[in-house]
Homo-oligomer: A and B are copies of this chain.
Amino acid sequence: MLRLARLAIDSWREPVAFLNRGCTEYAAESFLGPRKVEVSDGRRSVTCVLNLVDDAALVARDALALSAHAFALLGLEEGAPVAIRRAPEPASRAALRARIAGRRLSEAEIDAVVEDMVAGRYAGRETAGFLVAAAQTLDDGEVIAFARARAERSAQIVWPDGMVVDKHSMGGIPGTRVTMVVVPIVIAHGLTIPKAASRAITSPAGTADTMEVLARVDLDAEEVCRVVAEVGGCIVWNGRLSHSPIDDVMNAVTRPLGIVSDRLSVSSILSKKAALGVTHIVFDIPVGPTAKVATRADADALARLFAVTAEGLGIAARCEITDGTQPIGSGIGPALEARDVAQVLAGDPDAPADLRDKSLMLAARVLAFAGVAEPRERAEALLASGAAARAMERLVDAQGRNPDPPGPGRLTREVAAGSSGTVAAIDCHRIAGIARRAGAPLEKSAGIDQFRQRGDRVEQGEPLYRIHAEEEADLAEAAAYAEQGSGFEVAAG
């Protein structure tokens, strides 16, 4: 046995063990190489990369030193007796190699690969090889198996109600805060809807960013259970709630490699829904030239994959392919979107009609799961009666009301049409880029307020939208970017 020591070295994510080359207990050289070593006292163990040391002042000949992170993972005292051995090969390596060579895997094989990945038994190059091979060629059965293997390794929430509903949008369209209208309607009807929403990554606002204008969203699982028990639903950030250990492993590969795969995405999305205990879900797939899904054929394929995978996981699913050719609602950016939502819930005649209409349609699809005979009428009634608005107030209080919600930014600049005509197209990427330059989503009050939609008539010099910002520099940058291209295409006539 070797004496355990700690070296005050922070090797970032990689646990490292240090052995003297002249070690008295082991042939140290035989452990040096690509294969990791397992350091153990017989009960606790940690798997490390091995470095050899030629200086007894750093590591004594009868000692084994660990980097700070590895030492903490092992959790033993300095001086504890430890042994080392070559880390066991991942049991699923033959399956991983077979997948790289193109063979389909069984459910048990995929489960074993995921298990070994989560346990850190694979090198990054092996995970990368597997994911590149899998990204475009996982078949339906593999997508289901992958989703199930991931869900089983995520924190699971079990609800007292038999029916737990959800609504998920593929996003990509700025604005479009339907979730914040759908959830209150569904709660008002009495269904359970624990909505875990994302923050913006490349967009001006995610649902979690906009909800945060009104209330706390970084709730943990325990808080979510309390809120849902009290109110019937929630709208919280998924980052704290739906953490899946396999995501860390996969994102470390897929992000730097730029891997974009519907098959991996669908398995990820549905694994999170399964872990959250969702039993019924409506998928919203917006289609448009600058939306995430560009063509109807892509949308059909994605809808089919959602349906098949959900069924494989025992989740009832319905897919709606919707118009993704332009932003929904007037506001883009957290505070402006929250204003649109408030107008719809309040029955304000100035509320964006498109936001109201899409929200009612999706809410009706969710209510239909519960056997509601005329779900659209029911959804409209819950909105008109103020029941949905009151549900939202309860929700905001339960999650933790923001006492001083920000409004639209006080600095503004209008962008006008360069010519007269009809709005022929709106470039969602461009609009998102302008809103982000104005400061969204970090600056809640920043964004864009749109005055025109596709098909609207506009005269030269009339404003198309107004940029809002909190800082002069942000406003200037957004305005300059809008001047290079407003995102609105106006066709003569």
Which residues of A are interface residues toward B (Cβ below 8 A)? 7-13, 16, 18, 21, 32-34, 49-55, 58, 67-68, 97, 100-102, 123-129, 131-133, 136, 252-253, 256-260
A12-B124 contact in complex given A129-B132, A259-B100, C-beta closer than 8 Å: no
Residue of B nearest to A122 (CB): B256
A125-B253 contact in complex given A54-B68, A132-B132, A132-B133, C-beta closer than 8 Å: yes
- Chain B contacts of A127 at CB under 8 A? 125
From B32, B55, B123, B259, A124 is in contact (CB under 8 Å) with B123
Write the nearest CB–CB distance from A404 to chain B, whole angstroms: 31
A67, A68, A125, A127, most chain B CB atoms within 10 A: A125
**Number of copies of this chain that the complex holds:** 2
- Chain B contacts of A257 at CB under 8 A? 97, 100, 125-126, 129
Residue of B nearest to A18 (CB): B9
- Chain B contacts of A253 at CB under 8 A? 125, 129
Residue of B nearest to A258 (CB): B97
A258-B101 contact in complex given A123-B124, A128-B124, A129-B128, C-beta closer than 8 Å: yes
How far, in whole Å, are A7 and B125 apart by their CA atoms in the complex? 28
Contact B252 A125 (CB under 8 A): yes
A32-B12 contact in complex given A125-B256, A132-B132, C-beta closer than 8 Å: yes
Task: Show 25 A/B contacts (Cβ-Cβ < 8 Å), sorted by A.
Answer: A8-B53, A8-B58, A9-B18, A9-B53, A10-B21, A11-B49, A12-B33, A34-B256, A51-B67, A97-B257, A100-B132, A100-B259, A101-B258, A101-B259, A102-B136, A123-B256, A124-B124, A124-B128, A125-B127, A125-B252, A125-B253, A125-B257, A129-B132, A129-B253, A129-B259
Write the nearest CB–CB distance from A210 to chain B, whole angstroms: 29
Residue of B nearest to A11 (CB): B51
Residue of B nearest to A68 (CB): B54
Residue of B nearest to A33 (CB): B12
- Chain B contacts of A51 at CB under 8 A? 9-12, 16, 67
- Chain B contacts of A97 at CB under 8 A? 257-258
Residue of B nearest to A102 (CB): B136
- Chain B contacts of A55 at CB under 8 A? 7-8
A58, A126, A129, A259, most chain B CB atoms within 10 A: A129
From B34, B54, B136, A10 is in contact (CB under 8 Å) with B54
Residue of B nearest to A94 (CB): B258
Write the nearest CB–CB distance from A254 to chain B, whole angstroms: 9
Residue of B nearest to A32 (CB): B12
How far, in whole Å, are A124 and B129 apart by their CA atoms in the complex? 10
How far, in whole Å, are A16 and B129 apart by their CA atoms in the complex? 25
Residue of B nearest to A261 (CB): B101
- Chain B contacts of A54 at CB under 8 A? 8-10, 68
Contact A34 B53 (CB under 8 A): no
The 10 closest A-B pairs by CB, nearest first: A125-B128, A124-B125, A97-B258, A8-B55, A8-B54, A128-B128, A10-B52, A129-B132, A128-B129, A132-B132
- Chain B contacts of A102 at CB under 8 A? 136
A-B contacts besides A100-B132, A125-B257, 8 pairs, CB < 8 Å: A10-B54, A34-B252, A54-B68, A58-B58, A124-B128, A126-B128, A126-B257, A128-B132
- Chain B contacts of A52 at CB under 8 A? 9-10
- Chain B contacts of A260 at CB under 8 A? 101
- Chain B contacts of A18 at CB under 8 A? 9
Residue of B nearest to A59 (CB): B9
